[in-house]
């Protein structure tokens, strides 16, 4: 009996490690291959090896040489992503707090509307977004992208953060209110400090979303000086700037730097933040 149990546990553990190994290979291999391609001195992916024999940083130097407006694309992407992250955090924090702590007419309908909006992808409204931006004179403007990104991220993140706030005991609110604290003071001094895990998760989501978007940004932006990284790097392989796939790989590797920095600085909050937003209220 004991031997059978020990054998089953060993089989389960082996299967678990095997699945983890397969997933790790699927995730890590493309990353290693992209880094290897960026260090390959050639311009074609056909000659790219997983680990280049002759490592070269020529493609990284080419990105900053001035022949390619990569720095402008990088600046545009960072500006849009940071503004989106900040505005999303502000809007989501107040909206989630209102839905979590107050009872008002239309509250349940509002939550249901947010759930429905999560199911509609942004690209399904591309024509409407383009027409609206044109009417407002926001074509080829970063402001239009920021507004659309923020509006698209409010429903899902509000529902996620509301679930987290529902888990914070209301006794803390009542105790602070008995001491004369207003709703805003309770929000800033009690709720927000306790919400750091979910705020970190929303910050990462709202930063990486615009950073990797191509469809919406290519619909709004028109001139190279306004391009973001996805559009600019696409032009590198669309034979508008020489179809340099290895330079594209170098540019793609550098995109991951700010994402990695944000993740490393906030990683201690992620596990608790992702698992705590699942409660319903």
User: Rg of the chain over CA atoms, in angstroms?
Assistant: 24
pLDDT of residue 227: 93
Is 146 within 8 Å of 80 (Cβ atoms)? yes
pLDDT above 90 covers what percent of the chain?
Answer: 20
List, for residues 206-235, the tens digit of each pLDDT value: 999 899 889 889 989 988 889 999 998 888
CA distance 31 to 47: 17
Q: Reduced to 3 states, what is the DSSP secondary structure of residue 160?
A: helix
What CATH architecture is 68-276? Orthogonal Bundle (1.10)
- Quickly state the pLDDT bin for 277 (edges 50, 70, 90): very low
Report CA dihedral (30, 33, 35, 40) to the nearest 10 degrees.
-160
The whole-number average pLDDT for the span 100-127 is 79
User: Phi and psi of 48, rounded to 5°?
Assistant: -80, 130
| pLDDT over threshold 80, residue 89 | yes
Q: Pick the range with the lowest mean pLDDT from 89-103, 106-120, 131-145.
A: 106-120
| pLDDT over threshold 60, residue 274 | no
| pLDDT over threshold 80, residue 5 | no
Is 274 within 8 Å of 201 (Cβ atoms)? yes
List, for residues 150-187, the tens digit of each pLDDT value: 988 888 899 889 988 988 888 888 888 888 888 888 88
Q: Where are the domains of the chain?
A: 2-58, 68-276
Is the model more confident about 251 or about 41? 251
The whole-number average pLDDT for the span 36-41 is 80
Please give the model's pTM, rounded to 2 decimal places. Answer: 0.83
CA distance 158 to 143: 22
């Amino acid at each position: 009996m004991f031997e059978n149990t020990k054998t089953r546990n060993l089989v389960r553990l082996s299967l678990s490690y095997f699945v983890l190994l397969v997933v790790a290979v699927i995730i890590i291999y493309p990353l290693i291959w992209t880094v290897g391609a960026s260090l390959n001195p050639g311009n074609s992916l056909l000659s790219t090896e997983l680990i280049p024999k002759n490592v070269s940083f020529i493609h990284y130097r080419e990105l900053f040489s001035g022949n390619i407006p990569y720095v402008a694309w990088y600046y545009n992407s960072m500006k849009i992503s940071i503004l989106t992250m900040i505005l999303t955090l502000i809007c989501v924090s107040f909206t989630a707090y209102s839905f979590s702590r107050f009872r008002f007419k239309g509250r349940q309908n509002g939550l249901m509307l947010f759930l429905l909006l999560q199911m509609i992808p942004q690209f399904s409204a591309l024509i409407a977004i383009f027409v609206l931006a044109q009417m407002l004179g926001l074509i080829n403007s970063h402001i239009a992208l920021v507004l659309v990104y923020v509006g698209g991220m409010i429903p899902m993140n509000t529902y996620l953060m509301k679930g987290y706030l529902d888990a914070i005991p209301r006794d803390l609110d009542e105790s602070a209110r008995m001491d004369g604290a207003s709703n805003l003071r309770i929000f800033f001094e009690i709720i927000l400090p306790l919400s750091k895990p979910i705020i970190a998760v929303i910050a990462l989501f709202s930063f990486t979303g615009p950073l990797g978007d191509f469809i919406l940004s290519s619909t709004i932006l028109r001139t190279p000086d306004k391009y973001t990284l996805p559009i600019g790097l696409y032009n590198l392989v669309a034979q508008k700037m020489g179809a340099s796939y290895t330079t594209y790989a170098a540019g793609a590797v550098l995109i991951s730097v700010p994402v990695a920095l944000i993740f490393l600085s906030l990683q201690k909050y992620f596990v608790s933040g992702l698992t705590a937003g699942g409660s319903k209220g």
